């Protein structure tokens, strides 16, 4: 039915619009921020009715169980929020990567109730959206460095990436709900 890559990237890989780094389109920024705002509720509605068996089911062979994806989302979006704060308060900060696969194997990602991570996402996204909505389009041109990128990336890039990241994992989780 679905190839392994389609299950891994059901909405496709992340693509940042060209020229958005230098002159972010206000309509795109508003859309990305609206996606970030809607994400926690969409996740809550999707996973709320899932059974314990579904939450323990990987969305693809070799992939994480749904509950690990949810805990990963909390970890990842918490890191994104911290990166936003660094970008806004420092000149081209160097952000620290983390080993998300190893984080997903830790005890908290294996045994904590998903409600804890959904609550983290709700709070982080509320703060994230408030911070981003207060900015001018020029603020989204501020940049950061990441050891995995050859060049600096903008706050607009990070905003687009995390809007995509939420949709990406929602689409993976939705695969479990298909008959």
Token couple for 23? 């002159």
Instruction: Give residue 19's pLDDT.
Output: 63
Residues 6+ apart with CB under 8 A from 173: 43, 46, 47, 59, 66, 69, 70
- Which residue, among 51, 114, 115, 120, has the nearest Cα to 80 in the 3D structure? 120
> Class for domain 25-177, per CATH?
mainly alpha
Give me the residues of the chain with pLDDT under 70, please: 1, 19-22
Instruction: Give residue 178's pLDDT.
Output: 85
71-87 tens-digit pLDDT? 999 999 999 999 999 99
Instruction: Give residue 1's pLDDT.
Output: 67
Instruction: Give residue 101's pLDDT.
Output: 93
Instruction: Give residue 3's pLDDT.
Output: 83
């Amino acid at each position: 039915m679905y190839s392994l890559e389609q299950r891994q990237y059901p909405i496709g890989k992340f693509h940042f619009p060209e020229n958005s780094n230098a002159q972010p389109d206000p309509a795109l920024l508003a859309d990305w921020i609206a996606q970030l705002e809607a994400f926690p509720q969409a996740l809550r509605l999707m996973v709320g009715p899932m059974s314990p068996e579904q939450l323990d089911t990987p969305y693809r062979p070799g992939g994480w169980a749904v509950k690990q994806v949810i805990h990963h989302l909390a970890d990842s979006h918490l890191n994104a929020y911290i990166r936003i704060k660094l970008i806004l308060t420092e000149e081209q900060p160097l952000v620290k990567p983390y080993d998300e696969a190893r984080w997903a194997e830790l005890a908290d990602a294996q045994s904590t109730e998903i409600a804890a991570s959904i609550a983290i996402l709700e709070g982080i996204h509320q703060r994230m959206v408030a911070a981003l909505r207060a900015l001018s389009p020029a603020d989204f041109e501020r940049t950061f460095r990441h050891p995995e990128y050859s060049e600096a990336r903008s706050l607009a890039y990070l905003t687009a990436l995390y809007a995509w990241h939420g949709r990406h994992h929602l689409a993976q989780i939705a695969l479990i709900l298909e008959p």
